[in-house]
Copies of this chain bind each other. A is one copy, B any other.
Amino acid sequence: MDNFTFRNTTKIIFGKDTESQVGSETARYGNKILLHYGSGSIKKYELYDRILKSLKDAGLEIIELGGVQPNPRLGLVKEGIDLCRREKIDFILAVGGGSAIDSAKAIAVGVPYNGDVWDFFTGKASVEKVIPVGVILTIAAAGSESSGNSVITNEEGLYKRAVGSDILRPRFAILNPEITYTLPPNQTTCGVSDIMAHIMERYFTTVKEVDLTDRLCEATLKTVINNALIVLEEPKNYAARAEIMWAGTIAHNDLLSTGRIGDWASHQIEHELSGIYDVPHGAGLSTIFPAWMKYVYKKDPEKFAQFAVRVWNVEPDFRDVEKTALEGIKRLKDFYKEIGLPVTLKEMNIPYDRLEEMAEKCTEEGPRGNFVKLNKNDVLEILMMAR
């Protein structure tokens, strides 16, 4: 086990009707707030009205900025920064999934900074000051509701890059599983894929003797797998929605990183896919992850066999550890198919003519991943295997 520091200060407010607490929670931090959201689908249901009522009851002044797209764009972030400065906003409330939250975090870090906010994403600047962010989560997926990360796409060159700092963790996150009842099935399954990927990126580590975090990862994965099948059959099953929503937060709140280093190559390869083709992040991950696994499992077949046995109930074959390992990868791929996720680039209509360009962009700052360090040719091989 590696030495580690862990602190997650986000206050999780979980359960039915919890969005009614948003006004009193927000009032602890600010007076004039930016309400930041996506397509406006929040206005279709009563959610928007309930949020506005709670905020107004708490005496808060509200400025709105909608229009966050999936794979949130730098352009809107810059617009948000200008708006916050002009209006002297002191708190940002993100209502949505990872895209709205990541966009809010990027605005939060940009407002007090004298320079181009993209500097934080290229490593030219480091996060020292932010305006506080709160969240009402509408999609269980990204885990951004209690993480210290933000991933933004720069339209110029279609670069998708991340910034991270403990002080970027939201002050509070309101999670009402009922809000996810009306999600289209493909958003639910893309969320499931993202949650599973966050766990698996941490699970496959070169650090030995991390028994507890291994088991916590396996526990969270099993919960997600079991409940994904239920919510697809019964979208309004509260218990199953709740399990997935809470698992989505735990998957990415850094508890499952304690004592170990994660891999993250699959995420970075996927960022190239969705950076260029704007495919849903979760669909990109279900395509890349099994290919990555097949490419790297020989580095530590015993770990992949453990994954197969403990997560997928594969019967262990101690005379053929690789067979056991490969069966686990197969079960993961079968599970993705069962819940309707793509497992090939072809299914997403991604042509093969820019694979080398993606491999190049992915590794231009150096090799990717930790479980196995991947150079450009490795990434290209993985993309080829994902065709």
Binding site for B on A (CB under 8 A): 1-16, 18, 208-209, 211-212, 215-216, 218-220, 222-223, 226-227, 238-239, 242-243, 246-247, 250, 255, 258-259
The interface residues of chain B lying within 8 Å CB-to-CB of A209 are: 239, 242-243
Q: Which residue of B lies closest to A227 (CB)?
A: B211
Task: Give the shortest distance, in Å, between A134 (CB) and chain B (any CB).
Answer: 13
Known: A1-B239, A209-B242, A211-B226. 11 other contacts (CB 8 A): A1-B238, A2-B15, A4-B12, A4-B14, A12-B258, A211-B227, A211-B243, A212-B243, A212-B247, A212-B250, A246-B259
Give CA–CA (A147, B8) in the complex, Å: 14
The interface residues of chain B lying within 8 Å CB-to-CB of A247 are: 212
Copies of this chain present in the complex amount to: 2
Sampled A-B contacts (29; CB under 8 Å): A1-B15, A1-B238, A1-B239, A1-B243, A2-B15, A3-B14, A3-B15, A3-B16, A3-B18, A4-B12, A4-B15, A5-B14, A6-B11, A6-B14, A7-B9, A8-B8, A12-B258, A14-B258, A14-B259, A208-B239, A212-B219, A212-B223, A212-B247, A215-B220, A215-B222, A215-B223, A216-B219, A218-B219, A246-B258
The reply to whether B215 and A242 contact each other, CB–CB distance below 8 Å, is no
The interface residues of chain B lying within 8 Å CB-to-CB of A220 are: 212, 215-216
Q: Which residue of B lies closest to A249 (CB)?
A: B6
The interface residues of chain B lying within 8 Å CB-to-CB of A13 are: 5
The interface residues of chain B lying within 8 Å CB-to-CB of A259 are: 14, 242, 246
The 6 closest A-B pairs by CB, nearest first: A3-B15, A215-B219, A209-B239, A7-B11, A212-B223, A219-B219
Q: When the two chains form the complex, which single residue of B1, B212, B255 contacts A255, counting CB atoms closer than 8 Å?
A: B255
Q: Which residue of B lies closest to A246 (CB)?
A: B212
Give CA–CA (A11, B250) in the complex, Å: 17
The interface residues of chain B lying within 8 Å CB-to-CB of A3 are: 14-16, 18
Q: When the two chains form the complex, which single residue of B1, B223, B238, B239 contacts A242, counting CB atoms closer than 8 Å?
A: B1
The interface residues of chain B lying within 8 Å CB-to-CB of A215 are: 219-220, 222-223
Q: Which residue of B lies closest to A209 (CB)?
A: B239
The interface residues of chain B lying within 8 Å CB-to-CB of A18 are: 3
Q: Which residue of B lies closest to A4 (CB)?
A: B14
Give CA–CA (A140, B243) in the complex, Å: 30
Give CA–CA (A212, B222) in the complex, Å: 8
Task: Give the shortest distance, in Å, between A303 (CB) and chain B (any CB).
Answer: 16
The reply to whether B1 and A12 contact each other, CB–CB distance below 8 Å, is no
Give CA–CA (A287, B11) in the complex, Å: 37
Q: Which residue of B lies closest to A224 (CB)?
A: B212
Give CA–CA (A222, B255) in the complex, Å: 18
Give CA–CA (A7, B175) in the complex, Å: 13
